[in-house]
Chain A
Amino acid sequence: MDFPLFHLDFMGNRMLVAVIAITHVIINHALAVGFAPLVTLLEFRGYLKHKTNPEEGKAWDEMARKLLFIAFIVTTTAGALTGVGIWFAASLANPASLGSLIRVFYFAWFTEWIIFVLEVVFIMIYFLTWKKSGESSLNKKKHILFGLWLSIFSWLTMAIIVAILGFMMDPGSWVEKKSLFTGVLNPLYIPQLLFRTPVAMMMAGTVGLMISAYVLKKNNKWRNEILRYISFWILLWMPVAAAGAFLYYWHIPRAMIGNLPVALGTQQFQDWYGSLVIVAIVVVAIGFTIGILGTIAPRRLPKHLLIIPVIASFLFLGTFERLREFIRKPYVIGEYMYANGILVEEYPLYQQTGILMHTPYSAITEITEENKVAAGEAVFTIACSRCHTTHGISSVVRKFERMYASKEPLNAEAMKTYIKSMHNVRHYMPPFPGNDAELDALAEFVAHQQKRPRKLDGPQVKGVDVKEIVYEINKTDK
Chain B
Amino acid sequence: MISAFINQIPVPKDIPLPLPMPEWVLIVVLVFSFLVHILFINLMIGSSILTFWYEIRGKKNNDFDRLAREIAATITVNKSLAVVFGVAPLLSINVLYTLYFYSANALTGNIWISIVPWVAVSFLLFYLHKYSWDRLSDNKPLHLSILGVGILSFLFIPFIFLTNINLMLFPEKWGEINGFFEAMTLPNVFPRYFHFITASMAITGFFLAWWFGRKQFKTEGVFNNLSKNWIRKQMLNLALIATGMQFIFGPLLFLTLPSQGITWTLFWVIMGGVTIAIIVMVQLWKLLNDEGHLLGKRFFIVAGMFVLLVAFMGTGRHLYRESTLQTHKEMMAERTAAHWEAVRLAHENLLLPPVDGDVAIAVPGQNLFQTNCAVCHAANTRLVGPAMAEVAQIYKDNLEGLKKWIKEPGRKRLDYPAMTGFPHLSDQQLTEVSKYLLQEQWND
Contacts and interface: CB of A to CB of B under 8 A. Distances in A.
Interface of A: 1-6, 16, 20, 73, 76-78, 80-82, 84-85, 87-89, 91-92, 95-96, 98-100, 102-104, 106-107, 109-110, 113, 116-117, 120, 124, 128, 178, 180, 262-263, 265-267, 343, 345-346, 348-349, 352-353, 358, 360-361, 403-405, 411, 414, 417-418, 420-422, 424-426, 435, 458-475, 478
B86 interface: yes
Contacts of B113: 16, 85, 88-89, 92
Given A88-B113, A92-B112, A474-B338, A102 B95 contact: yes
28 contacts: A2-B99, A4-B103, A4-B106, A77-B123, A88-B113, A92-B109, A95-B98, A99-B15, A99-B102, A102-B98, A103-B15, A106-B95, A262-B424, A265-B424, A266-B420, A349-B339, A349-B345, A404-B383, A418-B375, A418-B384, A426-B420, A459-B107, A460-B107, A463-B179, A468-B5, A469-B6, A473-B4, A474-B1
Contact of A113 (B80, B91, B111, B383): B91
Contacts of B335: 469, 471
Nearest to B108: A460
B1 A102 contact: no
Contacts of A113: 84, 87-88, 91
A190 to B, nearest CB: 25
B415 interface: yes
B367 to A, nearest CB: 11
B20 A461 contact: no
Contacts of B346: 348-349, 352-353
B109 A84 contact: no
Given A265-B423, A417-B378, A460-B109, 14 more contacts: A2-B99, A6-B106, A77-B124, A80-B84, A82-B120, A92-B106, A100-B15, A106-B21, A262-B424, A360-B12, A411-B383, A421-B370, A421-B372, A461-B179
Interface string B1-28: 1111111111111011111110000000
Contacts of A411: 383
B353 interface: yes
B334 to A, nearest CB: 6
Contacts of B375: 417-418, 420-422, 424-425
A197 B384 CA distance: 44
Nearest to B126: A77
A119 B112 CA distance: 27
Given A348-B346, A418-B376, A474 B337 contact: yes
Interface string B200-229: 000000000000000000000000000000
A411 B86 CA distance: 51
Interface residues of B, number: 96
Contacts of A420: 375
Given A6-B106, A113-B87, A418-B376, A463 B95 contact: no
Interface in B324-377: 334-335, 337-339, 341-343, 345-347, 349, 351-353, 370-372, 374-376
A475 B417 CA distance: 56
A96 B15 contact: yes
B439 to A, nearest CB: 21
B179 A404 contact: no
A263 B77 CA distance: 51
A87 B90 CA distance: 9
A84 B105 CA distance: 14
B418 interface: yes
A66 to B, nearest CB: 13
Contact of A424 (B86, B116, B343, B371): B371
B424 A263 contact: yes
A414 B11 CA distance: 36
A424 B417 CA distance: 17
B153 to A, nearest CB: 12
B185 interface: no
A116 B99 CA distance: 27
B94 interface: yes
A209 to B, nearest CB: 24
B119 interface: yes
Contacts of B18: 103
Contacts of B178: 461-463
A472 B338 CA distance: 6
A464 B171 CA distance: 12
B343 A3 contact: no
A189 B32 CA distance: 33
A201 B95 CA distance: 34
A85 B120 CA distance: 10
A116 B87 contact: yes
B91 A109 contact: yes
Contact of A104 (B17, B76, B382): B17
Contacts of A263: 424
A420 B376 CA distance: 11
B306 interface: no
A81 B83 CA distance: 8
A97 to B, nearest CB: 10
Interface string B104-135: 01111111110111011101100100000000
B38 to A, nearest CB: 16
Contact of A417 (B17, B83, B90, B374): B374
Contact of A473 (B2, B105, B112): B2
Contacts of B99: 2-3, 99
A113 B177 CA distance: 34
A218 B375 CA distance: 65
B421 to A, nearest CB: 6
A408 to B, nearest CB: 11
A361 B9 CA distance: 10
B20 A103 contact: yes
B175 interface: yes
A87 to B, nearest CB: 7
Nearest to B409: A267
B99 to A, nearest CB: 7
B413 to A, nearest CB: 10
A85 B175 CA distance: 26
B180 interface: yes
Contacts of A104: 17, 20
B81 A343 contact: no
Given A92-B105, A106-B91, A461-B178, A466 B347 contact: no
User: Which has the most chain B C-beta neighbours within 10 Å: A82, A110, A349, A471?
Assistant: A471
A266 B418 CA distance: 11
Contacts of A469: 6, 11, 335
Contact of B384 (A80, A98, A404, A424): A404
B180 A460 contact: yes
B230 interface: no
Nearest to A117: B84
A120 B109 contact: no
B436 interface: no
B433 to A, nearest CB: 12
